[in-house]
Structure 1
């Protein structure tokens, strides 16, 4: 490039520093000009706008040249570990690479994407402006032309939220496929932010361009994504502390009055009377037996404030709460296998994740040995988790010693869960294997006895209600013998009939073993035999006392009667005495009948709670029958076709923290969470160790709300596939993330309140902590805890007294489950646990749980924050109504009475009472109910349900839709109603972020 001379001075008289002329040499009269040279070419500056377009505009990927590489035969990108050094985090992205050139291209793509992210981040405000300019992609532009809802402000807001979520979701699907470093967690955060910011812009009424909205949305999405929920879970689950129990706390000094829930004023009394008959938990707390009430509190998690709590007597830690604490072991299994598989793929493995888990299970049956080192390491890691469960069971006599376990035919212990469907369909083949082994292999039995024993074993397997029942299937009585003997058969012979998926086997084993462990630890036996006998004995005593009490009342009445007559110098007429005798004889019979009936009902309810915890209550004699399996399958289908909007419906959950902890504390907690403060990160690690915030891993609350029950075995591949679909659907709804966010934050508030001493003595006692235990907790905190940004972090895994740590963990876990309502064993009617009851009652568990835990529990507390929090929850329920209606393109009724009624219904605060109202309105066409009383029409939540579905549950509504569609197809009718019904049968059709777009083409919704 030529060098052009520059003027010695600028127009302003200053000489350019770069071209200043040197001073004259003292030895010379000449001035030498500087030597001319060509300057180095200036390096090309990276373009912020280009980086923003590549990161945020789907068009960038469309114009990128397609990858074309010549495959190299036998090439494996994982063969040389050095080849992917520094790219291990994205190891799975290289799985499809078939040549060194393709691997190099992927690495360059990762580098480019990371550099773009760094550049935009470092640029600050300028980077944001570049993102604004880059935000005009086709989806963003198209979103401008999607018609929003007509009507008031909330309708427009709701419409914009729905459109924003849907538009962002479509963009994210494309961007996720275009970019290697873009994770699905990041995309989920962007979808949530899209909905949030669309609502903000709509409510502000600001005429912002789509590009500005897109940029702001990404700013919020980045903040949400930086929460790193998944990675935090992965890190914590690897160090989950041992499962265990805290032991029963002593409340033996409590009286019947101490174990009575406080009234909560006249409103609380009315609410209790209106709904106490519905659930076993509330019925049992009205029992005349002190032992029954104490047993109920020790069994079932609850949110009741007792009169004894006001006197410093603690509520015992429930077996249900401690059982839920074992979920951390479940999480360790799921997360551990997921991480191990990533390592396996990085090392060049080609198995699918399903096959990998099967191989880990097979290795655990074979002494934790496998040809693949990663599979072997994983089996050994899973052995650590399994041993924690096994050792606890052996301590309590629930499992035989290791020597006897091996005698059952296993090289190393791995719980047997049978493929019941396969055994049923291949009964003769499976039977022949058993008979041949016992009669010819180890010659345990003669052929005739072996035939009989094989039938006994198979019948036990096919009739098992829970996996724990499989433990004793080989205990049989030989012909002519009165004593059982345990037979064995090697795993290798029946491997085809055993479940080997390590996730499936260990998760179910942990769930059911945890219940057995905690029941045995608290009551001596899983069957609770001794405690049930104590209840019988107390009722016998109460019945014996009745005649004495009635006689004392009779004698007192006779004495008063005689005194009155004698004062007048008269004698009591015999007729008066006979009448008095008949009155008290009738009262005696009535009281004895009442106590006898109460005893029968209490024993029924107590055993029901026990069996619900174990998972056997309401199970039919043949749990593998077609009708039982069909009902479970239909409930899974309902979950995936009808609960796509459950995260939007759960918005009122945000008010639960306010109702329990107050507005100021709740906002402080959410602020710490959103800013990802060091205190929140430390607290979140604590919560994960307690088993709180694992919804994204286990989906436990979503499954409880959807009334999905894990079966003891998977009978067909279709059923197994449906289980995977429901888990995936839970992720797509974003409900699991929403639950984790709320539970982690509220757990932080509870933990801080306990450790700081901010909670009242009554609330501490309600959580299972009396004054003495509170002092012990404070002592441990002073030694091992820390205060970060004003938040108290316990570091309970370092405490010297692990019993105290267990009480602390259980208190936090109980409070979180009561705040973010998670239905428990005592929160639903007993009939709802039968196969037909589950079908009819599906999606209604939350209503009765909310009534017990939110309304009754809150009224008993009687705090101001409960009442203003309830008002806030109703307001959020009204918002949900407006959002739902707007997303469907319907007009919103803004009358105050309509908003209040819809808010109450959507908030769930009145639980089943509003369900009764809604069913009455549906059955009478709106002629009977609150809508008719206030002139607001029927409630919108039931608007899309037919009468059959409203009364008998979604499965019957589903059958109604299928019949309607079938009739339409056969008759050649493809009308609007048929098209709409077909849409409702598609899984995910009402996911909140895609439903608004589907609604545009649904003729019924337009």
Structure 2
């Protein structure tokens, strides 16, 4: 067959032939198409998604690139000694800085190679790779949180541009956080790549924000179209509550949805460890509302966006009573200073402050009089506090009108010296027994008089019975003439005429008797008999006429006689009681009663002694009333009563404040009506449930809600978790240990609190927070005025009371006894807060926040009064604080009367306001914001087990993290404000600074790697709330082999480095036990090395005060 040569250009042109042709594909192809990325069943797509998850998702990267910690360290090894070791890996040299062996260097190389190959695989997959990367990034928890938060701020009618900017900003912040995490776990991730990804995240967020706002506005867009194009009238639903009440703010009738928390549900679920967080997510609307009214919170609810105010919590109002304690403490100090100045001029002797305070207490029992003028003046200065609380309790019906003091000349709260009673029980029992016997004997002397009165009453009752019977017959006789009065009067007249002849007839008969009897004499004698009968009838007829004329008078007389006749049994009982009272109590009886009284006093579980102390059996004996009150004069048991006015008034206010505010809010201290309302609400929900399983869940949830509500109520009262025996060794040892732990471990707490400086910015924004700060620092006179105003609200009292430090250190013990040791520890703990500068720092932070909040509310009130509209953000923030539009108008009225503008810094002088409802609402709003900005944990923030004695020991110093979780982390996410996110970044940065300062103080090497600084910043800032504690515990117990630090490739968290494993797991008290064990073992074994020296130092109070710690570090180094 012939073969012909042919040129291709003869068939197709040269241009056509020059077009490149793809190679033919046979069988399976290794290339990944865009459809593989979208197909969840595709093996190629699965492989690609896994690869993208490893490089573009922070969690996936953390897991895939987890560093190796199992290599044994090779002494003297340095990967940089030989240039060939890192050949080809020069760009990643910093990754080998901590390599301690050739095996670890090889593992790091493998990790870098894996990252390179994974990135190459994703990038070569084209569009499918891009889609997979977007998918992996979209499910990154950081990005999910960042994108989910602006969704909580979507409102109908919102600006598309503004929403787009919010989403873009939130996504950019999330992108930065995500890239920081990815860069920390990937050696091959470059700065350019991160910047590009953050830019893409911002653009994507903006697009999604615009789309989300368009969807949200769809209803109004349609309505506007109907109105403008079709001519239909647009009607806007008004959601603003109509608060027209004069006496109190009207409670809007909200729905369950309006009482729902904002923010992602998975974030809100993390609050289920605390009672306030659990009840806030209850299926019962009533439970949610009562929860808000009872416990202070920083939550944002759906109703706040509609301008409906959150309830003012009873807890917030109770905390405002601290200003009364502050005033008392400061006034007593001032009078003591005056006393010291004049003491030398008198006799030279001088009382200590404690002795002076006791003398003030004595004076308050004795009409506020004392030989020392300053003591008397101090007592008179405290008296208004007692009177103010008494008047409020009378107003609420807690005390009866006109209540008086019967145990002293003037009232001073009675608080017993429990240890004095225990130590001198026999003496105290004799005093009580003597008084009981005297009361009994005094009544015995009066028994004879009572017996005579009872006998007279019995005689009167016996004579009244026949009188009543006779009168009853006369009344019945008169009733026979009812309607026949004229006939009765005729009969009376007829008989009266006949009786009038009696004298004449009698005289005639006497005259004729001297003569011979005649028929006429017989007639006269018969007539005289008729006259005598007429006399009897006349008396009866006249009585009947009198009764008919005055029926009410005679019936009342009959009733009185009947009552006297029937009082025979009563007088018999009185006679029996009088005879019994004449029998005196035996000494054995009164001593047994005294023992019973003492047991009730020292056994009071909360330290709050009940008023009813007299035993039941004794109230039936002579001298004792049914009130069962121990009315023994204070003077007789003076040595067994606390007289220190500072201690007594602090405890008095702590006891009466919750009682007052609970009664004012709920009608009763026990909240009985509210508990029934929750039960009824659940009964409705259970009846509507469709399955037995649903009903069972609701019943369990009802019991849990009621338990939490009761627990928070009792925490406020100071009775929850109270030990059965407050004087037991375990309870008192635990209390002492907590004080010792505070003194020896929290010397650096002020430095640890530096991240709190970001909290006002997180709550109010950079501009709103910093402008008043500048005024505070430059205008001292204006700040003094604002400070005095804030102190009237209970803000800025830490220097005198250390209330926040006590809460954070778990020292707020409502049933503490007072031995000399315990009193000394309390005094030391109080002063320690000043030594560490924590109290001064807290006061400054609270004053700063108070100025910001007060100015913000008052400025908003002025805007509303002027007819200007507030932004939706301002409306939500103010409603979150408990202030709605109506209340703002009323605040503006009060501010115009009493307020003051200190060159842009507004102060209301709210203590002068004449509208109590407005005053209390405004002050509570400011106080709430201050307590949540400067984190002060409340009654609902910590798990219930932390109120038990064991919980206090094991969980000491953990209170702050639970408070931060609820009041900062979750609440910030709920608000969705941009200020929370840049404030959080600032707080993390300050946390990193704390790590550096703490490391310098402890003499530890500072790890300045970015990943470690971010990790330490997160930990020291407290931004992770309680979620960070399990990680730190895991790192401590595993020696750094597990946990976040192991994943980041850095050392374990520095905050737990000073604790041993037992201390990390069971708290600082057990850590103290471990240190004592180390010291004991060292002494016994004769090996006193670094560990033993360190343990000795940790036992010393004040050992880590930030200005003493460097000196002690040098001493410690010399002893090692």
What's 1:834 paired with? 948
Q: Is the 8 A contact 2:611 2:630 kept in 1?
A: no
Kindly indicate whether residue 424 of structure 2 is the aligned counterpart of residue 310 of structure 1: no
Which residue of 1 is the match for residue 856 of structure 2?
753
1:650 matched to 2:753: yes
Task: Using the TM superposition, give the Cα deviation of residue 378 of structure 1 relative to its aligned residue in structure 2, in angstroms.
Answer: 1.2
Compute the displacement of 1:441 (Å): 5.2
Correspondence for 2:397:
397
Any idea what SS the aligned residue of 1:792 has?
strand
**Equivalent runs, 1:667-706 vs 2, <5 Å:** 667-706=770-809
Q: Work out the CA distance in 1 between the residues paired with 2:616 and 2:632.
A: 13
What TM-score, normalized by structure 1, do the two folds share?
Answer: 0.69
Task: Kindly indicate whether the alpha-carbon contact (under 8 Å) linking 2:315 and 2:716 is maintained by their aligned counterparts in 1.
Answer: yes
The equivalent of 2:258 in structure 1 is 258
C-alpha contact (below 8 Å) 1:523/1:531 kept by paired residues: yes
Distance 1:473 1:734, change over 3 A: farther
Partner residue in 2 for 1:902? 1016
Alpha-carbon distance in structure 2 between the residues aligned to 1:788 and 1:983: 50
Pick aligned residue for 1:815 from 929, 949, 959: 929
Q: What is residue 376 of structure 2 aligned with on the other side?
A: 376
Matches of 1:336 and 1:479, distance apart in 2:
42
The more displaced of 481-490 and 802-811 is 481-490
C-alpha RMSD of the superposition: 2.0
SS of the aligned residue for 2:747 comes to coil
Distance 1:677 1:440, change over 3 A: closer
Q: Do the aligned residues in 2 keep the contact of 1:474 with 1:488 (CA within 8 Å)?
A: no
Question: Which residue of the partner structure matches residue 166 of structure 1?
Answer: none
Q: Which runs of 5+ in 1 are unaligned?
A: 1-245, 551-587
The aligned counterpart of 1:1003 is 1117
1:956-1002 Cα offsets, whole Å, 9 max, x none, are 11111122223333444433322221111111010011111111111
Residues 202-351 of structure 1: pairs in structure 2 closer than 5 A = 249-263=249-263, 268-273=264-269, 275-348=270-343, 350-351=350-351
Match status 1:608 vs 2:711? yes
Asked whether the equivalents of residues 999 and 1005 of structure 1 are also in contact (C-alpha less than 8 Å), the reply is no
CA positional deviation for 1:839: 0.8
Task: Report deviation, 1:880.
Answer: 0.2
Measured in 1, the distance between the counterparts of 2:874 and 2:386 equals 40
Q: How does 1:590-605 map to 2 (within 5 A)?
A: 590-605=693-708
> Hey, what does 1:229 align to over in structure 2?
none
1: CA distance between counterparts of 2:277 and 2:403?
A: 46
**In 2, are the aligned partners of 1:475 and 1:486 still within 8 Å (CA)?**
no
User: Given that residues 786 and 792 in structure 1 are in contact (C-alpha distance below 8 angstroms), is that contact kept between their aligned partners in structure 2?
Assistant: yes
2:930 and 2:630 map into 1 onto residues whose CA distance is: 46
Counterpart secondary structure, 2:1117: coil
Structure 1: distance between partners of 2:606 and 2:1002: 43
Q: Distance in 1 between matches of 2:359 and 2:964?
A: 43
Does residue 723 (structure 1) correspond to residue 831 (structure 2)? The answer is no
* Contact 2:775 2:905 (C-alpha < 8 Å) held by counterparts: no
Q: Provide the rounded CA distance (Å) in 2 between the counterparts of 1:1001 and 1:458.
A: 52
What is the CA–CA distance in structure 2 between the aligned matches of 1:304 and 1:1000, rounded to whole Å? Answer: 47
Separation in structure 2 between the aligned mates of residue 964 and residue 835 of structure 1, nearest angstrom? 26
Measured at CA, do residues 456 and 505 of structure 1 come closer, stay the same or move farther in structure 2, by a change above 3 Å?
same
- 1:782 equivalent in alignment to 2:922: no
Contact 2:613 2:628 survives alignment (8 Å) = no
Cα offsets for 1:251-280 (capped at 9, x unmatched): 3511111111112xxxx433222x122100
Report the Cα distance in structure 2 between the residues aligned to 1:1005 and 1:665, rounded to whole angstroms: 52
CA contact (8 A) 1:247 1:521 kept: no
Equivalent-residue separation in structure 2 for 1:353 and 1:867 (angstroms) = 48
Contact 2:1032 2:1043 in 1 (8 A): yes
Residue of 987, 992, 995 corresponding to 2:1106: 992
Q: CA deviation at 1:725?
A: 0.8
One of 1078, 1089, 1093 as aligned partner of 1:975: 1089
Name the residue aligned to 1:472: 612
* Alpha-carbon distance, 1:943 to partner: 0.5
Q: CA offset at residue 478 of structure 1?
A: 2.7
8 Å Cα contact 1:658/1:869 also seen in 2: yes
Cα 1:539–1:963 change in 2 (3 A) is same
Give 1:401 deviation, angstroms.
5.6
The answer as to whether partners of 1:878 and 1:903 remain within 8 angstroms in 2 is yes
1:456 aligned residue: 596
User: Contact 1:248/1:522 (CA < 8 Å) preserved in 2?
Assistant: no
2:635 is matched with 492
Instruction: Trace 1:529-608 onto structure 2 (pairs within 5 A).
Output: 529-546=672-689, 550=690, 588-608=691-711
CA contact (8 A) 2:600 2:613 kept: yes
Residue 585 (structure 2) aligned to one of 442, 446, 470: 446
Deviations 1:339-360, CA, capped at 9 Å, x for gaps: 0001111111611111111111
> Given the alignment of the two structures, is residue 936 of structure 1 paired with residue 1050 of structure 2, yes or no?
yes
Larger deviation, residues 884-893 vs 907-916: 884-893
| Pairing partner for 1:625 from 720, 724, 728 | 728
Q: Structure 2 length as normaliser, TM-score? A: 0.62
Aligned to 1:471, the other structure's residue is in SS state coil
Q: Secondary structure at the match of 1:472?
A: coil
Indicate if the aligned counterparts of 2:606 and 2:722 stay in contact, CA closer than 8 A.
Answer: no
1:783, distance to aligned residue in structure 2 (A): 3.2
- 1:533-558 per-position Cα deviation (integer Å, ceiling 9, x unaligned): 11112212222222xxx2xxxxxxxx
For residue 469 of structure 1, give the secondary structure of its aligned residue in structure 2.
Answer: coil
Equivalent runs, 1:787-802 vs 2, <5 Å: 787-802=901-916
**Can you give the 5+ residue segments of structure 2 that lack an aligned partner in the other structure?**
1-245, 344-348, 444-583, 861-869
Work out whether residues 281 and 300 of structure 1, in 8 Å CA contact, stay in contact via their aligned partners in 2.
Answer: yes
> 1:317 Cα shift?
0.5
Give the equivalent residue in structure 2 for 1:740: 843
Q: Does the alignment pair 1:413 with 2:411?
A: yes
Q: 1:397 to 1:621 in 2, by over 3 A?
A: farther
Q: How many residues align?
A: 714
1:565 maps to what in 2?
A: none
Determine whether 1:966 maps to 2:1080.
yes
Matches within 5 A, 1:875-886: 875-886=989-1000
**Structure 1 residues 252 and 435, CA, compared in 2 at 3 Å: closer, same or farther?**
farther
In 2, the alpha carbon distance for the partners of 1:441 and 1:971 equals: 67
2:967 to 842, 853, 860: 853
Contact 2:606 2:723 in 1 (8 A): no
Shift in Å, 1:450: 2.3
- Further displaced range: 828-837 or 440-449: 440-449
Q: 1:784 to 1:642 in 2, by over 3 A?
A: same
- 1:72 is matched with which residue? none
Which stretch of the first structure deviates more once superposed, 784-793 or 468-477? 468-477
CA–CA separation in structure 1 for the residues paired with 2:961 and 2:252: 34
Structure 1 residue 681: Cα displacement: 2.8
> Offset of 1:477 from its aligned partner?
4.5
Which residue of 1 is the match for residue 421 of structure 2?
A: 423
User: Match of 2:155?
Assistant: none
Structure 1 match to 2:198: none
Distance in 1, Cα, partners of 2:900 & 2:818: 51
Partners of 1:479 and 1:399 lie apart in 2 by 22
